[in-house]
Structure 1
Protein backbone atom coordinates (compact mmCIF):
# COMPACT_ATOMS: atom_id res chain seq x y z
CA UNK A 1 0.00 0.00 0.00
CA UNK A 2 1.29 3.52 -0.75
CA UNK A 3 2.58 5.49 2.20
CA UNK A 4 0.34 8.52 2.97
CA UNK A 5 2.07 11.82 2.29
CA UNK A 6 3.19 13.81 5.30
CA UNK A 7 3.66 17.53 5.88
CA UNK A 8 5.39 19.85 8.33
CA UNK A 9 3.49 23.09 9.03
CA UNK A 10 3.26 25.81 11.67
CA UNK A 11 -0.41 24.95 12.15
CA UNK A 12 0.53 21.35 12.96
CA UNK A 13 3.21 22.53 15.39
CA UNK A 14 0.73 24.72 17.28
CA UNK A 15 -1.88 21.95 17.32
CA UNK A 16 0.67 19.57 18.79
CA UNK A 17 1.72 22.06 21.46
CA UNK A 18 -1.93 22.68 22.43
CA UNK A 19 -2.60 18.95 22.64
CA UNK A 20 -0.25 18.71 25.65
CA UNK A 21 -2.44 20.92 27.86
CA UNK A 22 -4.19 17.99 29.63
CA UNK A 23 -0.78 16.67 30.79
CA UNK A 24 0.52 20.00 32.08
CA UNK A 25 -0.70 19.81 35.72
CA UNK A 26 0.87 16.39 36.27
CA UNK A 27 4.05 17.32 34.44
CA UNK A 28 4.45 20.53 36.44
CA UNK A 29 4.26 18.61 39.71
CA UNK A 30 6.53 15.87 38.37
CA UNK A 31 9.15 18.34 37.14
CA UNK A 32 9.14 20.31 40.37
CA UNK A 33 9.39 17.09 42.35
CA UNK A 34 12.50 16.13 40.41
CA UNK A 35 14.04 19.57 40.92
CA UNK A 36 13.29 19.50 44.64
CA UNK A 37 14.66 15.97 45.02
CA UNK A 38 17.80 16.95 43.10
CA UNK A 39 18.35 19.92 45.38
CA UNK A 40 18.00 17.70 48.44
CA UNK A 41 20.48 15.26 46.91
CA UNK A 42 23.05 18.04 46.59
CA UNK A 43 23.07 18.55 42.83
CA UNK A 44 24.07 21.98 41.56
CA UNK A 45 21.95 24.28 39.41
CA UNK A 46 24.08 23.41 36.38
CA UNK A 47 23.73 19.67 36.96
CA UNK A 48 19.94 19.93 37.20
CA UNK A 49 19.82 22.09 34.06
CA UNK A 50 22.07 19.67 32.17
CA UNK A 51 20.11 16.59 33.22
CA UNK A 52 16.74 18.08 32.30
CA UNK A 53 17.82 19.77 29.07
CA UNK A 54 20.13 17.13 27.58
CA UNK A 55 19.36 13.82 29.27
CA UNK A 56 15.63 14.70 29.26
CA UNK A 57 14.33 11.45 30.69
CA UNK A 58 12.05 12.14 33.65
CA UNK A 59 11.67 8.61 34.98
CA UNK A 60 15.34 7.78 34.43
CA UNK A 61 16.38 11.05 36.08
CA UNK A 62 14.33 10.23 39.17
CA UNK A 63 15.74 6.71 39.33
CA UNK A 64 19.23 8.09 38.76
CA UNK A 65 18.89 10.26 41.86
CA UNK A 66 18.53 7.10 43.93
CA UNK A 67 22.06 6.00 43.04
CA UNK A 68 23.62 9.47 42.71
CA UNK A 69 26.89 9.78 44.62
CA UNK A 70 29.06 12.74 45.57
CA UNK A 71 32.13 10.59 44.93
CA UNK A 72 31.84 8.34 41.90
CA UNK A 73 33.39 4.91 41.46
CA UNK A 74 33.39 2.66 38.38
CA UNK A 75 30.78 0.51 40.10
CA UNK A 76 28.33 3.35 40.75
CA UNK A 77 28.83 4.70 37.22
CA UNK A 78 28.05 1.27 35.77
CA UNK A 79 25.00 0.97 38.02
CA UNK A 80 23.49 4.29 36.99
CA UNK A 81 24.22 3.58 33.32
CA UNK A 82 22.53 0.19 33.50
CA UNK A 83 19.48 1.35 35.43
CA UNK A 84 18.83 4.38 33.24
CA UNK A 85 19.38 2.32 30.07
CA UNK A 86 16.81 -0.25 31.20
CA UNK A 87 14.28 2.42 32.20
CA UNK A 88 14.70 4.21 28.87
CA UNK A 89 14.70 1.05 26.74
CA UNK A 90 10.95 1.46 26.28
CA UNK A 91 11.74 4.39 23.97
CA UNK A 92 13.17 1.91 21.45
CA UNK A 93 9.68 0.48 20.99
CA UNK A 94 7.97 3.87 21.06
CA UNK A 95 10.33 5.16 18.40
CA UNK A 96 9.83 2.05 16.25
CA UNK A 97 6.06 2.65 16.15
CA UNK A 98 6.71 6.08 14.62
CA UNK A 99 8.81 4.72 11.75
CA UNK A 100 5.92 4.61 9.21
CA UNK A 101 5.18 8.26 9.99
CA UNK A 102 8.78 9.49 9.92
CA UNK A 103 10.24 7.29 7.17
CA UNK A 104 10.28 10.11 4.58
CA UNK A 105 11.46 12.81 6.98
CA UNK A 106 14.96 14.35 6.80
CA UNK A 107 17.33 12.48 9.11
CA UNK A 108 18.19 15.57 11.18
CA UNK A 109 14.54 16.41 11.80
CA UNK A 110 13.71 12.82 12.70
CA UNK A 111 16.63 12.74 15.13
CA UNK A 112 15.36 15.90 16.84
CA UNK A 113 11.82 14.52 17.02
CA UNK A 114 13.10 11.30 18.58
CA UNK A 115 15.26 13.17 21.08
CA UNK A 116 12.14 15.03 22.23
CA UNK A 117 10.03 11.86 22.35
CA UNK A 118 8.37 11.14 25.70
CA UNK A 119 5.60 8.84 26.88
CA UNK A 120 3.08 11.68 26.97
CA UNK A 121 4.12 13.07 23.59
CA UNK A 122 3.94 9.60 22.07
CA UNK A 123 0.40 9.06 23.37
CA UNK A 124 -0.86 12.39 22.02
CA UNK A 125 0.91 11.97 18.68
CA UNK A 126 -0.10 8.37 18.00
CA UNK A 127 -3.71 9.23 18.79
CA UNK A 128 -3.48 12.11 16.29
CA UNK A 129 -1.87 9.79 13.70
CA UNK A 130 -4.43 7.04 14.23
CA UNK A 131 -7.18 9.60 13.61
CA UNK A 132 -5.69 10.33 10.20
CA UNK A 133 -3.31 13.20 11.02
CA UNK A 134 -0.11 13.24 8.98
CA UNK A 135 1.53 16.58 9.90
CA UNK A 136 4.88 15.63 11.46
CA UNK A 137 5.07 19.09 13.02
CA UNK A 138 2.37 17.89 15.45
CA UNK A 139 4.89 15.46 16.95
CA UNK A 140 7.52 18.20 17.04
CA UNK A 141 5.09 20.59 18.72
CA UNK A 142 4.29 18.15 21.52
CA UNK A 143 7.99 17.47 22.02
CA UNK A 144 9.05 21.12 22.22
CA UNK A 145 6.18 22.09 24.54
CA UNK A 146 6.89 19.24 26.96
CA UNK A 147 10.67 19.82 26.86
CA UNK A 148 10.35 23.54 27.67
CA UNK A 149 7.95 22.81 30.51
CA UNK A 150 10.15 20.03 31.92
CA UNK A 151 13.26 22.19 32.00
CA UNK A 152 11.41 25.16 33.49
CA UNK A 153 9.64 23.17 36.21
CA UNK A 154 12.80 21.24 37.11
CA UNK A 155 14.67 24.49 37.70
CA UNK A 156 11.73 25.94 39.64
CA UNK A 157 11.65 22.81 41.79
CA UNK A 158 15.39 23.11 42.39
CA UNK A 159 14.93 26.48 44.08
CA UNK A 160 11.79 25.39 45.94
CA UNK A 161 13.59 22.27 47.17
CA UNK A 162 15.99 24.39 49.17
CA UNK A 163 13.06 25.27 51.44
CA UNK A 164 11.65 21.72 51.76
CA UNK A 165 13.83 19.73 54.19
CA UNK A 166 11.73 16.56 53.93
CA UNK A 167 10.02 16.12 50.51
CA UNK A 168 8.46 12.82 51.66
CA UNK A 169 6.24 14.71 54.12
CA UNK A 170 4.48 16.30 51.13
CA UNK A 171 4.22 13.07 49.16
CA UNK A 172 6.68 14.21 46.49
CA UNK A 173 8.15 10.72 46.37
CA UNK A 174 4.77 9.46 45.10
CA UNK A 175 4.57 11.85 42.16
CA UNK A 176 6.37 9.60 39.66
CA UNK A 177 4.31 6.40 40.18
CA UNK A 178 1.05 8.37 40.23
CA UNK A 179 1.98 10.32 37.09
CA UNK A 180 2.86 7.19 35.11
CA UNK A 181 -0.18 5.37 36.44
CA UNK A 182 -2.39 8.11 35.02
CA UNK A 183 -0.48 8.05 31.71
CA UNK A 184 -1.35 4.35 31.33
CA UNK A 185 -5.10 5.04 31.27
CA UNK A 186 -5.30 5.91 27.53
CA UNK A 187 -3.40 2.69 26.75
CA UNK A 188 -6.00 0.47 28.42
CA UNK A 189 -7.44 -1.97 25.88
CA UNK A 190 -8.87 -4.61 28.18
CA UNK A 191 -7.72 -7.09 30.81
CA UNK A 192 -5.87 -9.50 28.51
CA UNK A 193 -3.52 -6.93 26.91
CA UNK A 194 -2.78 -5.62 30.41
CA UNK A 195 -1.57 -9.03 31.63
CA UNK A 196 2.14 -8.34 30.78
CA UNK A 197 1.93 -5.11 32.83
CA UNK A 198 0.51 -7.05 35.78
CA UNK A 199 3.17 -9.78 35.56
CA UNK A 200 5.97 -7.20 35.25
CA UNK A 201 4.69 -5.34 38.31
CA UNK A 202 4.25 -8.43 40.47
CA UNK A 203 7.64 -9.89 39.53
CA UNK A 204 9.30 -6.52 40.21
CA UNK A 205 7.72 -6.35 43.68
CA UNK A 206 8.79 -9.89 44.54
CA UNK A 207 12.37 -9.40 43.36
CA UNK A 208 12.59 -6.05 45.13
CA UNK A 209 11.51 -7.70 48.38
CA UNK A 210 14.25 -10.34 48.29
CA UNK A 211 17.09 -8.98 46.15
CA UNK A 212 18.88 -5.72 47.03
CA UNK A 213 19.69 -3.09 44.43
CA UNK A 214 17.94 -2.42 41.12
CA UNK A 215 17.80 -5.92 39.66
CA UNK A 216 14.01 -5.80 40.07
CA UNK A 217 13.73 -3.30 37.19
CA UNK A 218 15.49 -5.58 34.74
CA UNK A 219 13.80 -8.78 35.90
CA UNK A 220 10.35 -7.18 35.92
CA UNK A 221 10.81 -5.82 32.42
CA UNK A 222 11.99 -9.20 31.10
CA UNK A 223 9.06 -10.95 32.78
CA UNK A 224 6.61 -8.57 31.10
CA UNK A 225 8.24 -9.08 27.71
CA UNK A 226 8.22 -12.86 28.13
CA UNK A 227 4.55 -12.82 29.07
CA UNK A 228 3.69 -10.75 26.02
CA UNK A 229 5.61 -13.14 23.75
CA UNK A 230 3.86 -16.20 25.22
CA UNK A 231 0.47 -14.59 24.65
CA UNK A 232 1.06 -14.20 20.91
Structure 2
Protein backbone atom coordinates (compact mmCIF):
# COMPACT_ATOMS: atom_id res chain seq x y z
CA UNK A 1 0.00 0.00 0.00
CA UNK A 2 2.88 2.38 0.72
CA UNK A 3 4.32 1.91 -2.78
CA UNK A 4 0.98 2.87 -4.33
CA UNK A 5 1.33 6.36 -2.80
CA UNK A 6 4.58 7.14 -4.61
CA UNK A 7 4.50 10.50 -6.48
CA UNK A 8 3.39 10.19 -10.08
CA UNK A 9 5.87 10.82 -12.89
CA UNK A 10 5.56 10.72 -16.67
CA UNK A 11 8.73 9.70 -18.51
CA UNK A 12 9.88 8.22 -21.81
CA UNK A 13 11.45 5.27 -19.99
CA UNK A 14 8.10 4.48 -18.40
CA UNK A 15 6.39 4.70 -21.79
CA UNK A 16 8.92 2.31 -23.30
CA UNK A 17 8.42 -0.11 -20.43
CA UNK A 18 4.65 -0.01 -20.86
CA UNK A 19 4.92 -0.59 -24.60
CA UNK A 20 7.36 -3.43 -24.13
CA UNK A 21 5.32 -5.22 -21.46
CA UNK A 22 2.12 -4.91 -23.53
CA UNK A 23 3.64 -6.83 -26.45
CA UNK A 24 2.27 -10.22 -25.22
CA UNK A 25 -1.25 -8.86 -25.84
CA UNK A 26 -0.44 -7.79 -29.37
CA UNK A 27 -1.18 -11.04 -31.31
CA UNK A 28 -4.70 -11.15 -29.92
CA UNK A 29 -5.21 -7.45 -30.51
CA UNK A 30 -3.94 -7.76 -34.08
CA UNK A 31 -6.38 -10.60 -34.76
CA UNK A 32 -9.19 -8.51 -33.25
CA UNK A 33 -8.27 -5.52 -35.42
CA UNK A 34 -8.06 -7.65 -38.55
CA UNK A 35 -11.48 -9.09 -37.75
CA UNK A 36 -12.90 -5.57 -37.56
CA UNK A 37 -11.16 -4.55 -40.78
CA UNK A 38 -12.50 -7.58 -42.62
CA UNK A 39 -16.01 -7.01 -41.28
CA UNK A 40 -15.83 -3.33 -42.23
CA UNK A 41 -14.92 -4.32 -45.78
CA UNK A 42 -17.90 -6.64 -45.91
CA UNK A 43 -20.17 -3.77 -44.83
CA UNK A 44 -18.93 -1.62 -47.69
CA UNK A 45 -16.57 0.70 -45.82
CA UNK A 46 -13.52 1.78 -47.77
CA UNK A 47 -9.99 1.19 -46.49
CA UNK A 48 -9.70 4.85 -45.47
CA UNK A 49 -13.06 4.80 -43.66
CA UNK A 50 -12.19 1.65 -41.73
CA UNK A 51 -8.75 2.96 -40.73
CA UNK A 52 -10.17 6.36 -39.71
CA UNK A 53 -12.82 4.61 -37.61
CA UNK A 54 -10.13 2.78 -35.66
CA UNK A 55 -7.90 5.83 -35.42
CA UNK A 56 -10.54 8.31 -34.29
CA UNK A 57 -13.01 6.12 -32.40
CA UNK A 58 -10.49 3.64 -30.94
CA UNK A 59 -13.13 1.48 -29.25
CA UNK A 60 -12.89 -2.08 -30.53
CA UNK A 61 -16.01 -3.72 -29.16
CA UNK A 62 -18.19 -0.67 -29.82
CA UNK A 63 -16.90 -0.53 -33.40
CA UNK A 64 -17.76 -4.21 -33.93
CA UNK A 65 -21.23 -3.71 -32.50
CA UNK A 66 -21.78 -0.63 -34.66
CA UNK A 67 -20.96 -2.66 -37.76
CA UNK A 68 -23.71 -5.15 -36.93
CA UNK A 69 -26.26 -2.39 -37.30
CA UNK A 70 -24.52 -0.59 -40.15
CA UNK A 71 -26.73 0.27 -43.08
CA UNK A 72 -26.63 2.42 -46.19
CA UNK A 73 -29.92 4.06 -45.28
CA UNK A 74 -30.23 5.63 -41.83
CA UNK A 75 -33.28 6.80 -39.95
CA UNK A 76 -33.36 8.88 -36.78
CA UNK A 77 -34.57 5.91 -34.73
CA UNK A 78 -31.84 3.59 -36.04
CA UNK A 79 -29.16 6.19 -35.34
CA UNK A 80 -30.53 6.78 -31.84
CA UNK A 81 -30.65 3.05 -31.07
CA UNK A 82 -27.10 2.51 -32.29
CA UNK A 83 -25.87 5.56 -30.38
CA UNK A 84 -27.48 4.41 -27.12
CA UNK A 85 -26.09 0.91 -27.52
CA UNK A 86 -22.52 2.00 -28.18
CA UNK A 87 -22.82 4.54 -25.34
CA UNK A 88 -23.87 1.74 -23.00
CA UNK A 89 -21.01 -0.49 -24.11
CA UNK A 90 -18.47 2.27 -23.55
CA UNK A 91 -19.80 3.27 -20.14
CA UNK A 92 -17.18 0.95 -18.67
CA UNK A 93 -14.61 3.57 -19.68
CA UNK A 94 -16.11 5.94 -17.11
CA UNK A 95 -15.32 3.50 -14.32
CA UNK A 96 -11.94 2.64 -15.82
CA UNK A 97 -10.98 6.31 -16.00
CA UNK A 98 -12.24 6.92 -12.45
CA UNK A 99 -10.03 4.10 -11.16
CA UNK A 100 -7.03 5.89 -12.68
CA UNK A 101 -7.76 9.25 -11.03
CA UNK A 102 -5.75 8.64 -7.82
CA UNK A 103 -2.77 8.04 -10.09
CA UNK A 104 -3.17 10.27 -13.15
CA UNK A 105 -4.89 12.98 -11.12
CA UNK A 106 -1.50 13.99 -9.73
CA UNK A 107 -0.39 15.12 -13.20
CA UNK A 108 -1.14 18.48 -14.85
CA UNK A 109 -4.53 18.48 -16.54
CA UNK A 110 -3.12 18.52 -20.07
CA UNK A 111 -1.11 15.38 -19.30
CA UNK A 112 -3.78 13.45 -17.41
CA UNK A 113 -6.65 14.15 -19.82
CA UNK A 114 -4.39 13.75 -22.82
CA UNK A 115 -3.31 10.35 -21.53
CA UNK A 116 -6.94 9.24 -21.25
CA UNK A 117 -7.33 9.58 -25.01
CA UNK A 118 -5.36 6.31 -25.15
CA UNK A 119 -7.58 4.49 -22.66
CA UNK A 120 -8.35 0.93 -23.78
CA UNK A 121 -9.08 -2.36 -22.04
CA UNK A 122 -5.66 -3.93 -22.35
CA UNK A 123 -3.47 -0.96 -21.37
CA UNK A 124 -5.83 -0.16 -18.49
CA UNK A 125 -5.54 -3.71 -17.16
CA UNK A 126 -1.75 -3.74 -17.57
CA UNK A 127 -1.37 -0.29 -15.99
CA UNK A 128 -3.54 -1.18 -13.00
CA UNK A 129 -1.39 -4.23 -12.30
CA UNK A 130 1.72 -2.10 -12.65
CA UNK A 131 0.31 0.49 -10.24
CA UNK A 132 -0.79 -2.16 -7.72
CA UNK A 133 2.78 -3.45 -7.69
CA UNK A 134 4.04 0.01 -6.72
CA UNK A 135 4.72 1.57 -10.12
CA UNK A 136 4.45 5.36 -10.23
CA UNK A 137 5.37 6.31 -13.81
CA UNK A 138 2.21 7.20 -15.76
CA UNK A 139 4.29 6.86 -18.89
CA UNK A 140 3.66 3.13 -18.52
CA UNK A 141 -0.04 3.68 -19.24
CA UNK A 142 0.70 6.07 -22.10
CA UNK A 143 3.24 3.75 -23.75
CA UNK A 144 0.94 0.75 -23.49
CA UNK A 145 -1.90 2.80 -24.96
CA UNK A 146 0.20 4.23 -27.78
CA UNK A 147 1.37 0.83 -29.04
CA UNK A 148 -2.20 -0.43 -28.74
CA UNK A 149 -3.53 2.45 -30.85
CA UNK A 150 -0.89 2.01 -33.56
CA UNK A 151 -1.45 -1.73 -33.84
CA UNK A 152 -5.22 -1.32 -33.81
CA UNK A 153 -5.14 1.04 -36.79
CA UNK A 154 -2.55 -1.00 -38.71
CA UNK A 155 -4.32 -4.32 -38.10
CA UNK A 156 -7.65 -2.79 -39.14
CA UNK A 157 -6.13 -1.75 -42.47
CA UNK A 158 -4.51 -5.16 -42.89
CA UNK A 159 -7.77 -6.94 -42.15
CA UNK A 160 -9.60 -4.81 -44.68
CA UNK A 161 -7.01 -5.58 -47.35
CA UNK A 162 -6.75 -9.29 -46.59
CA UNK A 163 -10.27 -10.10 -45.49
CA UNK A 164 -12.30 -7.76 -47.63
CA UNK A 165 -12.55 -10.40 -50.32
CA UNK A 166 -13.74 -13.19 -48.02
CA UNK A 167 -17.41 -13.92 -48.85
CA UNK A 168 -18.33 -14.71 -45.24
CA UNK A 169 -15.75 -14.00 -42.50
CA UNK A 170 -17.78 -16.06 -40.02
CA UNK A 171 -17.24 -19.12 -42.17
CA UNK A 172 -13.54 -19.10 -41.27
CA UNK A 173 -14.07 -18.28 -37.60
CA UNK A 174 -13.30 -14.54 -37.57
CA UNK A 175 -16.31 -14.00 -35.32
CA UNK A 176 -14.59 -16.10 -32.63
CA UNK A 177 -11.70 -13.65 -32.36
CA UNK A 178 -13.61 -11.11 -30.26
CA UNK A 179 -14.66 -13.44 -27.41
CA UNK A 180 -11.25 -15.13 -27.46
CA UNK A 181 -9.52 -11.74 -27.11
CA UNK A 182 -11.62 -10.68 -24.13
CA UNK A 183 -11.20 -14.03 -22.42
CA UNK A 184 -7.45 -13.58 -22.74
CA UNK A 185 -7.85 -10.11 -21.22
CA UNK A 186 -9.84 -11.42 -18.26
CA UNK A 187 -7.60 -14.28 -17.22
CA UNK A 188 -4.64 -12.20 -15.96
CA UNK A 189 -7.08 -10.38 -13.63
CA UNK A 190 -8.27 -13.59 -11.97
CA UNK A 191 -7.90 -13.13 -8.21
CA UNK A 192 -9.59 -16.27 -6.91
CA UNK A 193 -12.81 -18.22 -6.92
CA UNK A 194 -14.88 -15.20 -5.90
CA UNK A 195 -14.28 -13.79 -9.38
CA UNK A 196 -16.18 -16.73 -10.86
CA UNK A 197 -19.42 -15.57 -9.22
CA UNK A 198 -19.56 -12.20 -10.96
CA UNK A 199 -18.09 -13.45 -14.23
CA UNK A 200 -20.38 -16.47 -14.28
CA UNK A 201 -23.43 -14.35 -13.55
CA UNK A 202 -22.55 -11.93 -16.33
CA UNK A 203 -22.01 -14.75 -18.82
CA UNK A 204 -25.18 -16.66 -17.89
CA UNK A 205 -27.38 -13.56 -17.77
CA UNK A 206 -26.15 -12.22 -21.11
CA UNK A 207 -26.63 -15.64 -22.71
CA UNK A 208 -30.25 -15.85 -21.54
CA UNK A 209 -30.89 -12.23 -22.53
CA UNK A 210 -29.55 -12.86 -26.04
CA UNK A 211 -32.45 -15.27 -26.61
CA UNK A 212 -35.05 -12.97 -25.07
CA UNK A 213 -34.08 -9.44 -26.12
CA UNK A 214 -33.45 -8.21 -29.66
CA UNK A 215 -30.18 -6.76 -30.86
CA UNK A 216 -27.19 -6.28 -28.57
CA UNK A 217 -28.97 -5.40 -25.32
CA UNK A 218 -27.74 -8.65 -23.79
CA UNK A 219 -24.35 -6.94 -23.41
CA UNK A 220 -25.77 -4.25 -21.13
CA UNK A 221 -27.90 -6.75 -19.18
CA UNK A 222 -24.95 -9.07 -18.59
CA UNK A 223 -22.66 -6.20 -17.59
CA UNK A 224 -25.12 -4.79 -15.02
CA UNK A 225 -25.90 -8.22 -13.54
CA UNK A 226 -22.23 -9.15 -13.28
CA UNK A 227 -21.31 -5.80 -11.71
CA UNK A 228 -24.07 -6.03 -9.09
CA UNK A 229 -23.26 -9.60 -8.09
CA UNK A 230 -19.53 -8.93 -8.19
CA UNK A 231 -19.97 -5.94 -5.89
CA UNK A 232 -21.75 -8.03 -3.26
CA UNK A 233 -19.23 -10.87 -3.45
CA UNK A 234 -16.07 -8.73 -3.47
CA UNK A 235 -13.64 -9.58 -0.69
CA UNK A 236 -13.53 -7.28 2.31
CA UNK A 237 -10.38 -7.05 4.40
TM-score normalised per structure 1:
0.94
Match of 1:151 among 150, 153, 171: 153
Pairing partner for 1:113 from 115, 119, 128? 115
CA RMSD of aligned residues (A): 1.6
- Structure 2 unaligned residues grouped into runs of 5+: none
SS, match of residue 61 in structure 2:
helix
User: How big is the shift at 1:49?
Assistant: 2.0
Aligned to 1:86: 88
1:181 aligned residue (183, 203, 208): 183
Which moved further from structure 2: 61-70 or 106-115?
Answer: 106-115
1:3 Cα deviation (Å)? 4.4
Q: Which ranges of structure 1 fall in alignment gaps of 5 or more residues? A: none
Q: In the superposition, relative to structure 1, how do residues 3 and 229 fare at CA in structure 2: closer, same or farther (>3 Å)?
A: closer
Task: Supply the distance in 2 between the matched residues of 1:153 and 1:183 (Cα, whole angstroms).
Answer: 18
Distance in 2 between the 1:193 and 1:166 partners? 36
Deviation at 1:202, TM superposition (A): 0.9
2:125 alignment partner in structure 1: 123
2-structure distance, mates of 1:17, 1:52: 19
Alignment of 1:211-230 (within 5 A): 211-230=213-232
Match of 2:38 among 36, 39, 43: 36
Q: Distance in 2 between matches of 1:17 and 1:45?
A: 27
Looking at structure 1, the residues matched to 134 and 227 of structure 2 have their Cα atoms a distance apart, in angstroms, of 30
Contact 2:30/2:155 (8 A) holds in 1: yes
How many residues matched?
232
Please, which of 160, 175, 194 is the counterpart of residue 196 of structure 2? 194
Give the Cα separation in 2 of the matches to 1:228 and 1:132: 25
Other-structure match for 2:72: 70
| Pairwise CA distance, 1:29 | 0.8
Provide the C-alpha distance between the structure 2 equivalents of 1:169 and 1:193, rounded to a whole number of angstroms. 33
